[in-house]
Structure 1
């Protein structure tokens, strides 16, 4: 009987590993589809240790011990090696060395923990990795000590709380501790688990069970979400088991958080550091080499190139602080051989991935249909295309960029504005109001829960997941307004009113134009900007600011070659006027060093019009043919030393 129980336990542990160790990627990019299957990498092969936003004391010290601190900043290192120095506020000045609290350590210390993070921050990956780690450890009878894990062997149970809510719905049951235990015992994700209920109860009662409860925010109905949180609290209060509940930051508020308040403050996942970004990239390409997709030299070269590329693109590197978005960036690089040279093209690829090509294996392990496939189940939407939804998102991003801002700069949209835009779209397809409302809720649910392209920020407000996406989609919307008579004055007014906010939007709009069929519009925009300030005094700082922005726009497009073939603008005259204006402002304005360097660089790119700079005849000296000595002979050198 003992052998049979052990065999069933091993069966369960292997099922945990099989379910949780898979990378949930499918239908990722067109290139990948042509090649066949998604990459056959395991989560445990690529996993990077995650840290919390909390720092804990490592040791108190004096200045004599500072030499042992690792070189570099905490941002450059992996969190397990990062350290920072803090001066304690005490009568006698004292120094404390602190380090990030790793999530593994937090589970051990807290016993019961709510794990918070934004979309794609690694919440699910952490829970699944812990399940795999403990299952593998148990299969080997705990033969090896697990790093940063101090509570020994635990039996892991990983479930999706969204799956639990669906299970309740099909049974028309309420969320209670008994129903939660029944769901754990039956486990629709693993038939083996149901045959282990006795073992599970024993582990539960002795405190050797770890419940990994993923996605409280995926319980869509707020009332049921509170029920589920209460059921979790009631069940875990019965015995001293370990438990981790993951949830998005914005969803863990009010009545949802109240049942778990005795668990203490939530633990929040820290964004990826540069060190973690590099570790993930090199881990991906190491797996590619190990599986024979690339040879060792090419794998190392590609990893190094991508790390360098991200260093050169701060906005993209900032996206890489989110594990999900970093995964998408690496996938684009892996299948394309490189990232698009233009960041507008890169953002386009990322938006496409999140909008329709990104799917995940959730709950029952099956491939989920993308948004367009779900909507087309309605015959009235048979002709609905991706670009219809995309246009709505672009307009919403543009409106968000106008309005109220969150603390991180993203624009906030009222829920009625978002719903109104989607309802209008479906009405144009002849969908009845009630059905249109259902479709609108489906789109909002998909964009928030699956792709993460639009997020509920609480208080009936929505926002894009990152300012970069908002700026890019707003730029796409702005570029499509080119046929309106006030297009140039509209773009100019944005820049003139708040240049810092609209600069990137305009640059990205121009990037889309020159890489599409709108190069004439891009050239006319440069000409319009110059004309608005042509009559200002060269010493006027407003004129210099405009000239620098025109030159920046040109540089960002790809320089003068980007506008080759333009028919509506006299390009040689445009370059001459821009260069002459910059040169005059350099001479007449009080410029700081950075502005003077920028202006000089642009004038050099355009061709400096000042006499004697680019047209100065160079004095030449004539030498007869033959050999000659460069420098001084040894005797001449010694003579020079004596003098």
Structure 2
């Protein structure tokens, strides 16, 4: 006989439980099995719930299957439990003459437990009931639905841009090019099993020497960890093009593939199986339910609902699936059953794309209602700035993770996979994989762009098509759109598009096509927040047609019939060719959407820059944060492609007189413009740059929540870095000036250095209740007069040490430090080349104690003539650091640098909040001015 899975064993057990046969083999055996399974599933709530359901309804075949799937890997990992189960099954064998043994079997779906059975000589009259026809229909409908999901997810959507003739070729496969994405959360160090003091000291030594390099957790690893002890609730944040939606699509593809293979007999799968393609996911083949939130927000169900709820979601699912399958009610019924047993993976994609009320509130209410009513795991994606700007999007009890930029191995893995996929599908390529690797490795600006999955994909598209690359994101979008439109116009096997339109190529070119697409991008982005009835980035077919009518009117010479003919021809080309605007069907007819929101934003900006009075029109949108990326891309294109500086400069000047949010945007636009470029063109930027710096410093140093929350201050500080942060010295002359004007008034610094007078200070003994700690009382500590910097040393301040002889001049280093530097071959701090950590006004990180001491010695040498006699620059002692933070100008000791109250919040420090929200990198210095007692940094806790 063939091996029988656990499901079969549970069917025997179910028969005993349900049929009164316990008396024949003894209640003890059945109770022992149940007790064993209860112990085995004790730490896995989902499996525990499934066991309880099985005991309540032992005849339900689905209950047995679900329990088997959960118990199998637990048994495979627990030899003692497996042996105990074998003994219990032997007892059954003795009574029923079942000849066999329990063992672990491996197959494509993971570990299963089998029993090699012989002949069952004792007949059991209580057979499991025959299959339920209704359940069979539901499973058939679910299989058909899952296949439509697989079809929708397996094609790389942006891959459609790479060839106009893609319809005649095999599509690019997402699973062939996908690269695992990481969060910014570092993986905790594994505890040493020995626990020896020597090992602990060695680990401490590695940390002090900077040899300790933490690794980051992947997204699915974080999601799996969240789902271990309680149902996962995760909010995944990322910037534009950071890979949020692609991750959701890929995860859906793998889960749906695994489910189809395991439950529905499909055989199409990659080597090793679909679950092997997501190795960080540890919870099996759940049914993925991908909800694109902009579609949900624009549905009839949403229009009619008074509030968000689980019922609203079910109504939407029925409405949405009916567009694809006539068996939608059966599909929803099957999904509902799966939800009830924790077998669904909820994937809510694009919370940032739901804008305005009451839609946003209803969507958030629905997600919260689902979270409260199911044990299924839930993942929600959202852009960082949209999440930070809206309390409604900040879902309670959701773990917050932020996507990390792609690192060098990930970038090169993608490039290799991309060109391999182009070769597999026989695309023509002007570029080569080796040349793209070289470009990314040798051009810093391209390496920075390549950290974005979307921009890296764009780079691969443009490079394969043209053999070269631009060096700015706005230019990259333009090149990709231009390449697409050229191929679209000259699609092989079809007449030239302009010829089909019957227009003169000299009066209608790719530039006009781009202008039309830009107008549609602008209209789509305007509708994101136009009113309560239009919240999505998609356009109805009727709107697209009306816009095309308007755009073709000048080419129709007042002939409405000709105008409509041109609009119809163009709409057909958009719908049937491989264009920049993609068509899909919805409940209210045809709709059109751009393949990524960033395309829409670039095109909206391209349209705005073509308007007669750009600055005046842009001011209508600058107060809305979802327009900021549009305006940044617009200015990038104006400056770098058109060489147009005056209008961006004018817009920036106007914004400096508006709200703090718009002042930050002004600084970002000036950073794109560039001081030297502005000066060369005679714009006289000095006063404007100075004004921008002052505005940003005011936001950073005086801003407080709720008007200026911490994320806004951090954004202001990052912007200030691009304009030249004046809050700390960087050149020798600036250092000398700060030393010359150092304050002598304790607690009232007027410059970079804070004065602490000589005296005896209480140090240590901290605890609540007037700092009392009887076990470790404070001790008096005598200190001479000293000065301490207001901010930690920044990357900008550390850079001359790296660029100069800091790592080659032995005289700066302690003997042990030089030996360490030589053995480690260290020439810069860890993370020195990583964009996440190397921004100008971030505190330098990845430095060892040796490097910090060497830097202080180097800086002392640089400023020897400006230092007071007998003074040096060095690291503060623990006592010096504590006194500087704990005492106020009157010599009073405080619990916190700002006083005894209030307790720390986001105005005083940067820390992981109750929802797990974290920066994932050091904040720029000085963004928590309220938490300062003169000494300022981005305090992390």
* TM bucket normalised to smaller: 0.5 to 0.7
Distance in 1, matches of 2:425 and 2:681, equals 38
Deviation per residue, 1:319-343 (Å, 9 max, x gap): 2221112111111112224436999
SS of match in other structure, 1:57:
coil
| Aligned position for 2:174 | 43
CA distance in 2, matches of 1:593, 1:198: 64
- 1:352-371 matches, within 5 Å, as none
Displacement of 1:39: 7.0
2:453 to 323, 343, 346: 323
Q: Does 1:245 align with 2:408?
A: no
Task: Note the residue ranges of structure 1 that are not aligned, 5 or more in a row.
Answer: 66-84, 361-365, 400-415, 421-443, 445-453, 483-496, 510-591, 596-643
Cα pair 1:398 1:474 within 8 Å, conserved: no
- Decide which of 278, 292, 298 is 2:426's aligned counterpart: 292
Q: Does 1:8 align with 2:179?
A: no
- Provide closer, same or farther for how the CA distance between residues 174 and 342 of structure 1 changes in structure 2, counting only shifts above 3 A: closer
Alpha carbons of structure 1 residues 286 and 311: separation in structure 2 relative to 1, 3 Å: same
Could you tell me how far 1:235 is from its partner in structure 2? 2.1
Matches for 1:130-529 after TM superposition, within 5 Å: 130-141=251-262, 144=273, 145-146=275-276, 147-168=279-300, 171-177=303-309, 178-188=311-321, 190-191=324-325, 193-253=328-388, 256-257=391-392, 260-264=395-399, 266-293=400-427, 302-339=432-469, 348-350=478-480, 376-377=547-548, 379=550, 382-383=553-554, 390=606, 392-393=608-609, 418-420=618-620, 456-457=624-625, 462-464=628-630, 470-476=635-641, 478-479=643-644, 501-503=674-676
Q: For residue 183 of structure 1, give the secondary structure of its aligned residue in structure 2.
A: helix
Take 1:94 and 1:479, find their aligned partners in 2: how far apart are those partners? 46
What is the CA–CA distance in structure 2 between the aligned matches of 1:120 and 1:499, rounded to whole Å? 19
Once the two structures are superposed, what CA deviation does each residue of 1:78-100 show, in whole Å capped at 9, x if it has no partner? xxxxxxx985999x999866321
Q: Is the 8 A contact 1:393 1:473 kept in 2?
A: yes
Q: Which of structures 1 and 2 has the larger relative contact order (alpha carbons within 8 angstroms, sep 6+)? A: 1
Query: 1:397 touches 1:474 (CA, 8 Å); kept in 2?
Result: no
Report if aligned partners of 2:458, 2:477 keep a CA contact under 8 Å in 1.
no
SS state of the match for residue 260, structure 1?
A: coil
What is the distance in 2 between the residues matched to 1:113 and 1:130? 14
Aligned counterparts of 2:380 and 2:480: Cα–Cα separation in 1: 29
- 2:360–2:392 CA contact under 8 A, matched in 1: no
C-alpha spacing 1:324/1:104, structure 2 compared with 1 (3 Å)? same
SS of residue matched to 2:237 = strand
Q: Taking structure 1 as reference, are residues 160 and 137 closer, same or farther at Cα in structure 2, changes over 3 Å only?
A: same
> What is the rounded CA distance, in whole Å, between the counterparts of 2:165 and 2:337 in structure 1?
50
Which of 1, 17, 35 does residue 150 from structure 2 map onto? 17
**Distance of 1:25 and 1:46 partners within structure 2:** 12
Whole-angstrom distance in 1 between the partners of 2:289 and 2:348: 8
Q: 1:171 to 1:373 in 2, by over 3 A?
A: closer
Checking the alignment, whether the CA contact within 8 Å between 2:635 and 2:672 is kept in structure 1 is: no
Contact 2:308 2:361 in 1 (8 A): no
User: Which of these two proteins has the greater Rg computed from alpha carbons?
Assistant: 2
Q: Secondary structure at the match of 1:98?
A: coil
Matched residues in 2 for 1:343 and 1:108: separation? 34
The offset of 1:505, in angstroms, is 7.2
Do the aligned partners of residues 113 and 345 (structure 1) sit closer, same or farther apart at CA in structure 2, a change above 3 Å counting?
A: closer
Secondary structure of the residue that 1:59 maps to in structure 2?
coil
Tell me which of 230, 233, 256 is aligned to 1:112. 233
After the TM superposition, which of the residue ranges 7-16 and 334-343 deviates more from structure 2?
A: 334-343
Per the alignment, residue 125 of structure 1 pairs with 246
Does the aligned pair in 2 maintain the 1:332–1:338 contact within 8 Å?
yes
CA shift in 2, pair 1:158/1:344, >3 Å: closer
Tell me the distance in 2 between the aligned counterparts of 1:27 and 1:229.
32
For the residues of structure 1 that align with 2:360 and 2:281, how far apart are their CA atoms?
A: 31
- Cα distance change on mapping 1:346 and 1:23 into 2, 3 Å: closer
Distance (Å, rounded) in 2 between the aligned partners of 1:38 and 1:502: 48
Deviation at 1:353, TM superposition (A): 7.3
Q: Return the offset for 1:137.
A: 0.8
The Cα offsets for residues 385-433 of structure 1, whole Å up to 9 and x where unpaired, read as: x99973733799997xxxxxxxxxxxxxxxx86254xxxxxxxxxxxxx
Separation in 2, partners of 1:209, 1:134: 10
CA drift at 1:38: 8.3
Counterpart-to-counterpart distance in 1, 2:603 and 2:343 = 52
Structure 1 residue 200 displacement after superposition: 1.5
- CA distance, structure 1, for counterparts of residue 154 and residue 146 of structure 2: 12
SS in 1 for 2:464: helix
Query: Does the C-alpha gap of structure 1 residues 60 and 201 become closer, same or farther in structure 2, counting only changes over 3 Å?
Result: same
Equivalent position SS for 2:440: helix
Q: 3-state SS of the aligned residue for 1:141?
A: helix
1:548-627 equivalences in 2 (<5 Å): none
Q: Secondary structure at the match of 1:174?
A: coil
CA distance in 2, matches of 1:344, 1:157: 34
Q: 1:541-581: CA deviations, max 9, x gaps?
A: xxxxxxxxxxxxxxxxxxxxxxxxxxxxxxxxxxxxxxxxx
SS in structure 2 of the partner of residue 261 of structure 1: coil
Q: Secondary structure at the match of 1:158?
A: strand
Q: CA deviation at 1:48?
A: 0.7
Q: CA deviation at 1:132?
A: 0.6
CA shift at 1:279, angstroms? Answer: 1.3
The 3-state SS of whatever aligns with 2:257 is helix
Task: Give how far 1:171 is off.
Answer: 4.5
In terms of fraction of residues, the more helix-rich structure is: 1
Secondary structure of the structure 1 residue equivalent to 2:217? strand
3-state SS of the aligned residue for 1:187?
A: helix
Q: What secondary structure does 2:333 align onto? A: helix
From 172, 183, 186, the counterpart of 1:55: 186
Give the aligned partner of residue 408 of structure 1. none
Does the CA-based 8 Å contact 2:462-2:483 persist in structure 1?
A: no
Alpha carbons of structure 1 residues 209 and 61: separation in structure 2 relative to 1, 3 Å: same
Q: Secondary structure at the match of 1:113?
A: strand
**Residues in 2 aligned to 1:35 and 1:19: alpha-carbon distance in whole angstroms:** 16
Partner of 1:548: none
Q: CA deviation at 1:23?
A: 1.9
Question: Structure 1 residue 202: deviation in Å?
Answer: 2.0
Q: Matches of 1:346 and 1:57 in 2, distance apart?
A: 38
> What secondary structure is seen at the aligned counterpart in 1 of 2:346?
strand
Unaligned runs of 5+ residues in structure 2 are 1-132, 197-201, 227-231, 264-271, 485-513, 522-536, 556-601, 648-669, 683-800, 805-941
The TM-score, its normalising length taken from structure 1, stands at: 0.54
For residues 185 and 226 of structure 1, the distance between their equivalents in structure 2, rounded to whole angstroms, comes to 21
In structure 1, how many angstroms separate the alpha carbons of the residues matched to 2:252 and 2:340? 19
Give the deviation of 1:593 after TM superposition: 14
How many residue pairs align between the two structures?
421
- Using the TM superposition, give the Cα deviation of residue 367 of structure 1 relative to its aligned residue in structure 2, in angstroms: 9.7
